[in-house]
Amino acid sequence: MIDKIAWLHLVDGRVLSTRSRGKDVYYLPGGKREPGETDAETLVREVREELDVAIAEPTIEPAGVFEAEAHGHAAGVLVRMTCYTAEYTGTPRASSEIEEIVWLEYADRDRVSAVDKLIFDHLHETGRLH
């Protein structure tokens, strides 16, 4: 099981997504925790590394946990994505290993990883992703 933390940032029915260098699908911003890190510490670090913005820790709110087969890994390897919403300061820009940042709608569901598809479905069903 791959344990990942992700930032759900929605604006006007679209969600902020990223594509890493050499990857063919989009992922929600975030990543794997380092040893001893809390979810909040992982979220703050990963979003700063990927998008060069500062998550406001007091605003972090849980937004769901989703599991699916991990994209680009051997069959049977699962990823557990624990999602959070949070306010931030700064202007998101592609940084570190991120090649591209985009705003995706539900119609873009086929462009994201398997676990993100589940998240897109949930956001669409709850009226948050158009």
Q: Express each pLDDT in 65-89 by its tens digit.
A: 999 999 888 899 999 999 999 999 9
pLDDT at 8: 98
| Range 39-60 burial, b when 16+ CB lie within 10 A, else e | beebbbbbbbebbebebeeeeb
* CA separation for the pair 50, 43 (Å, rounded): 10
* Mean pLDDT value across the chain: 96
Q: Quick check: 130 pLDDT over 90?
A: yes
Report residue 4's pLDDT band, with 50, 70 and 90 as the boundaries: very high
Question: Could you give the domains of the chain?
Answer: 2-125 (3.90.79.10)
For residue range 26-71, list pLDDT tens digits in order. 999 999 999 999 999 999 999 999 999 999 999 999 999 999 999 8
Q: Quick check: 97 pLDDT over 90?
A: no
pLDDT at 117: 97
In angstroms and rounded to an integer, the radius of gyration of the C-alpha atoms of the chain is 14
Query: Is the full-model pTM beyond 0.85?
Result: yes
